[in-house]
Amino acid sequence: MTQRTLAKAVRYDRLCSIAIEASEQSERLSAPDVQQPQALSSLLSQWPSDRWLVLCDETASGKASSREMLQALPMDAKVAVVVGPEGGWTAEEIVAFKEMPMCMSLPLGPRILRADTAALAALTLVQCFVGDWSK
């Protein structure tokens, strides 16, 4: 949950059902773990030290390209992608992310994308550069 999160209540059982259905549809052998929503500060304080955090950040444009950023990741890297809420990340949240040792800001181009579109775009980029699409 971020400072600009609009939904204050999330149906955990529905999220679990969606994860199971998506796993079945993609012929995945296991469903991803779905955890209860938590405050962003709590998530970052518990972040595993061996997992990269790819921050979709509209303020990162104009710096290194997405290709340059993702090519810097090791091919066997554990990666999580984080997309901001409607209205974007607050300045405080971006600072908190950038204090993380394994965090990189990923520009997704000059346009502001909806959260669901940004998630798909970012996951596609990550899959292309460090996933099995690049093999």
DSSP reduced 3-state for 116: helix
Q: What is the dihedral of CA 6, 63, 124, 40, to 10 degrees?
A: -30
Q: Which domains, from first to last, does the chain contain?
A: 38-134 (3.40.1280.10)
Alpha-carbon span 25 to 20, nearest angstrom? 9
Confirm if 105 and 60 have CB atoms less than 8 A apart: yes
Specify the higher pLDDT residue, 14 or 60. 14
**Model confidence band, residue 134 (pLDDT cutoffs 50, 70, 90):** low
Spell out a b/e string for 73-96, using b for 16 or more CB atoms within 10 Å of the CB, else e.
Answer: beeebebebbbbbeebbeeebbeb
Residue 59 makes CB contacts below 8 A (sequence gap 6+) with: 94, 105
Mean pLDDT for 3-9 is 86
Q: What is the pLDDT of residues 77-118, one digit of tens each?
A: 889 999 998 888 999 999 999 999 999 888 888 888 888 899
pTM of this structure: 0.82
